[in-house]
Structure 1
Amino acid sequence: MPLIYIDIHDNRTPDEITTLLGAVHTAVVDAFEVPDRDRYQIVTVHAPGHLVVQDTGLGIRRTPRVVVIRVVSKRRSPEKKQRLYELLAANLARDCALAASDLVVTITENGAEDWSFGHGRAQFVTGELPA
């Protein structure tokens, strides 16, 4: 945990997607201080016209390489969230040549009782995982 959803246009190769996933995972591990094997990522590829990302009045110019990242996570400090935003932008620029203007990130927070990793139990609540 956290659970990461990544939305992209249908314009990347499988290798490019693998690299993107690695860059995102490294940022999450570093910013949120989670174990390396704590990796839950879902990529959704959209046909042209099925992913609309505008600028919210900020004058940000987007390209067809835009990446939208949705993070579902337990509560994190504002400092850790800001660190994640910075690391995502840096890692994706370095590894994927993604412009910072083509990155949108949102975080949705929830609690320990909102996670079950299998076997019909909330492992953070049962104590199988540290909260």
Structure 2
Amino acid sequence: MPISHVSMRAGKPESYREAILDSLYQALRDTLDVPEGDRFMTLTEHDAANFRHGDAFGIARTDDLVYIAITLFNTRTVAHKAALFRRIAELLAERPGISPENIFVTIYDTPKENWSVGNGEMQFGPGKPSHG
């Protein structure tokens, strides 16, 4: 049950933005067994004055950089997260053609009881069935 937020510089066509979300969703399905239809994602575009990056950590980035923040249950292993990072880079390189140095991913893992996915209910808290 991840929720993903992508931030990028404005100016890319709709097909490019859709390819980012589709590839990200596929990477989540491939590595974390995210179920079909579990597609909770946003993409926000920023003009040049409101989008900054640098070459920290020895990585030369360009204005094609995408920031990807993924919040998910705290049940994933380090190996799951490493596989997800690799798969996101692979799929975004294929479609829409983003070079790996321009893919910046952060994972926020939270306890299941911190989630309400609708109706004002705690669907995944103590005593609730296990999901994701």
For the aligned pair, the TM-score class normalised by the smaller chain equals: over 0.9
Q: Which residue in the other structure is 1:54 paired with?
A: 54
One-letter amino acid of the structure 1 residue matched with residue 82 of structure 2: Q
One-letter amino acid of the structure 2 residue matched with residue 63 of structure 1: T
Determine the C-alpha separation between the residues in 1 that align with 2:105 and 2:131: 26
1:56-75 superposed matches below 5 A: 56=56, 58-75=57-74
Query: Structure 2: which 5+ runs fail to align?
Result: none
Query: Structure 1: which 5+ runs fail to align?
Result: none
Determine the C-alpha separation between the residues in 2 that align with 1:54 and 1:31: 29
Determine the C-alpha separation between the residues in 1 that align with 2:11 and 2:108: 27
- Identical counterparts, % of pairs: 26
Determine the C-alpha separation between the residues in 2 that align with 1:53 and 1:16: 20
Deviates more, 1:58-67 or 1:80-89: 58-67
Query: CA offsets per residue over residues 35-82 of structure 1, 9 Å max, x none?
Result: 0211110111000121112232x2211111111100111121000000
Determine the C-alpha separation between the residues in 2 that align with 1:11 and 1:128: 43
Determine the C-alpha separation between the residues in 2 that align with 1:31 and 1:118: 25
CA shift, 1:129, in A, is 5.9
Determine the C-alpha separation between the residues in 1 that align with 2:14 and 2:80: 30
* Equivalent pairs, count: 130
Query: CA offsets per residue over residues 4-54 of structure 1, 9 Å max, x none?
Result: 010010021111111110000000111111102111101110001211122
Determine the C-alpha separation between the residues in 2 that align with 1:16 and 1:48: 18
